[in-house]
Structure 1
Amino acid sequence: MTQNSSRFDGKIALITGGSSGMGLATAHRLVAEGATVIITGRDKTRLDAAVAQLGDRALGIPGDAASLTDLETLAAAIREQYGRLDVVFANAGIGAFQAAQDVTEAEFYRVVDINFKAAFFTIQKTLPLLSDQAAIVINASFAVHRGVSDAALYSATKAAVHNLARTLAAELAPRGIRVNSVSPGYIDTPAFRAEASAEAQAAVGATVAAGRVGTAEEVAAAVAFLASGEASYINGQDLLVDGGLISAIPAAML
């Protein structure tokens, strides 16, 4: 997908978890295409650094996307400064990989809060701000489409947001609001690098038809497309951004 410098002229976009990785890459993409972007994150230092990269059409609002109080504060700040939203990318989330038998109740609620509760209430609290014909994109995962060992809890939360996109697409259609999700495969982000050694990254890349892990910018391009008018007849869908991981077997593995 090539960059179109005017697709988001005059648009106001919100990206949760926007201080690094796929969220920050998407913020860069939308700003480059004309949008004003609000990003959120729990780490104010990282958030401020991200805003400095993004420039004058970016605003960072610290907060926890799983906190209803923080989300209400966020919505109030957006209403006061901009009056509306045209795009929401519910991106905040974490990876959590352990055997089902080892998941504690505290870990269960931690992962559900960040991966599902945050997406649900981000959308709920910003609904009054959404313009007609607005677009919502939720970050899901390739794990929605494939059983992954030691990822039962993580995959279940991503299945939840995947279905949330489809059901909200039906619920919000009368307002002309479209809701879709993206399902990234293995993507090179700071979080991925923290969890996987260079050898492990190469190993998983070899399982992808494209022969490599993806980039945050490639996910950002997909999000920008779904959020743009070019996707005006795409609603309630999930877009895999996985290099063929789910649907194609690399020749080297045959």
Structure 2
Amino acid sequence: MSGIEGKVAVVTGGASGIGFAIATEFVDRGASVVIADLNQESVDKAVAEIGSKCSGFAADVSSSADMDSLYKEVMARHGRLDAVVANAGIGDHGALGTITEEQFDRTFNTNVKGVLFTVQSALPFLTEGSTIVLIGSTASIQPPRGMSLYGGAKAAVRNFARTWIQDLKGSGIRINVVSPGAVDTESLRSALGQALGEDKVAAAVKSMGEDNPVGRIADPLEIARAVAFLSSDESSFITGVELFADGGLAQV
């Protein structure tokens, strides 16, 4: 038994990157997964790759109406909801003095409002033993220069969890945060390629991991395994924690 076998999970931002890895890991462990992402074509492509125990839904996490519709569809398809992973997020850079209102709204709408609506809309369908995992970031405590918007949004996510476990006291619903450092995703390599040139991507990825005690950045699967543990019955007495899945970077 995997601790999540037979469960029904929703993973937002599940069409690519960390979210795709989480959805794949859940299915591999015997769960049924509904992924949500903005673009229907990307959702359909991911579902086809993950397999028959995965289905998809196009939704904007910053829209409470979209999230309400998502969970109604999940209940129609599966009749239950056991695990929610609020993974959808975006990053934006800007030093103080250059940040625009558009950047602020875009970052906080997805990374903060989106987490709120992902969780709040799910509550009517969650029961004792259900789990919620929020995807944070080491930027919540160690934001790099120019990333105050992203770091501030992820700090809000941590404090959501710390408050919500009090709001849900006695419900049997657990909430935890998994905070990765740098993760070797296609989007990271694409961004590095655009900024530095494709020929320098491998060296840049290697350099990003040099200050990490493990000596490298994470594979998305390693983040997915941490999320699977906190979504499983094996972590039944763990709630309100922020687990830094970052190779020790936040500890030194």
Q: Quote the offset at 1:84 in angstroms.
A: 2.1
Letter in 2 for 1:171: D
Structure 1: tracts of 5 or more residues without a match: 249-254
- Structure 2 CA distance for partners of 1:14 and 1:28, relative to 1, 3 Å: same
Q: Distance in 2 between matches of 1:230 and 1:242?
A: 21
Q: Is the 8 A contact 2:140 2:153 kept in 1?
A: no
Match of 1:89 among 85, 89, 99: 85
Letter in 1 for 2:192: A
Partner residue in 2 for 1:149: 145
- 1:227 matches 2:231: yes
Q: Is the 8 A contact 1:47 1:60 kept in 2?
A: yes
Match of 1:17 among 13, 24, 28: 13
Q: Distance in 1 between matches of 2:169 and 2:244?
A: 23
Q: Distance in 2 between matches of 1:102 and 1:76?
A: 41
Q: Distance in 1 between matches of 2:78 and 2:39?
A: 23
Q: Deviations over 1:91-141 (max 9, x none)?
A: 000111221211111111110001010000110001001121101000000
Match of 1:119 among 105, 108, 115: 115
Letter in 1 for 2:48: A
Q: Quote the offset at 1:231 in angstroms.
A: 0.7
Matches of residues 70-85 of structure 1 in structure 2 within 5 Å? 70-85=66-81
Partner residue in 2 for 1:49: 45
Partner residue in 1 for 2:214: 210
SS in 2 for 1:85: coil
- 1:200 matches 2:204: yes
Q: Distance in 1 between matches of 2:166 and 2:79?
A: 25
- 1:35 matches 2:39: no
Q: Distance in 2 between matches of 1:67 and 1:29?
A: 27
Which moves more between the two structures, 233-242 or 70-79? 70-79
Partner residue in 2 for 1:65: 61
Q: Is the 8 A contact 2:92 2:147 kept in 1?
A: yes
Matches of residues 181-192 of structure 1 in structure 2 within 5 Å? 181-192=177-188
Partner residue in 1 for 2:156: 160
Question: Identity across aligned pairs (percent)?
Answer: 40
Q: Is the 8 A contact 1:170 1:236 kept in 2?
A: no
Structure 2: tracts of 5 or more residues without a match: 194-200
- 1:240 matches 2:244: yes
CA RMSD in angstroms comes to 1.2
Q: Distance in 2 between matches of 1:101 and 1:20?
A: 32
Q: Deviations over 1:2-52 (max 9, x none)?
A: xxx532222100000000111110111111111000001112121111111
Q: Deviations over 1:126-177 (max 9, x none)?
A: 1001121101000000011224210111101000011101111121131100
Which moves more between the two structures, 71-80 or 105-114? 71-80
- How many pairs align? 244
Letter in 2 for 1:70: D
- 1:8 matches 2:4: yes
Q: Distance in 2 between matches of 1:173 and 1:57?
A: 32
Give runs of ≥4 in structure 1 deviating > 6 Å. none
Letter in 2 for 1:180: N
Letter in 2 for 1:227: S
Q: State TM-score, norm by structure 1.
A: 0.93
Q: Distance in 1 between matches of 2:167 and 2:80?
A: 20
Letter in 1 for 2:248: G
Partner residue in 2 for 1:251: none
Q: Distance in 1 between matches of 2:36 and 2:144?
A: 29
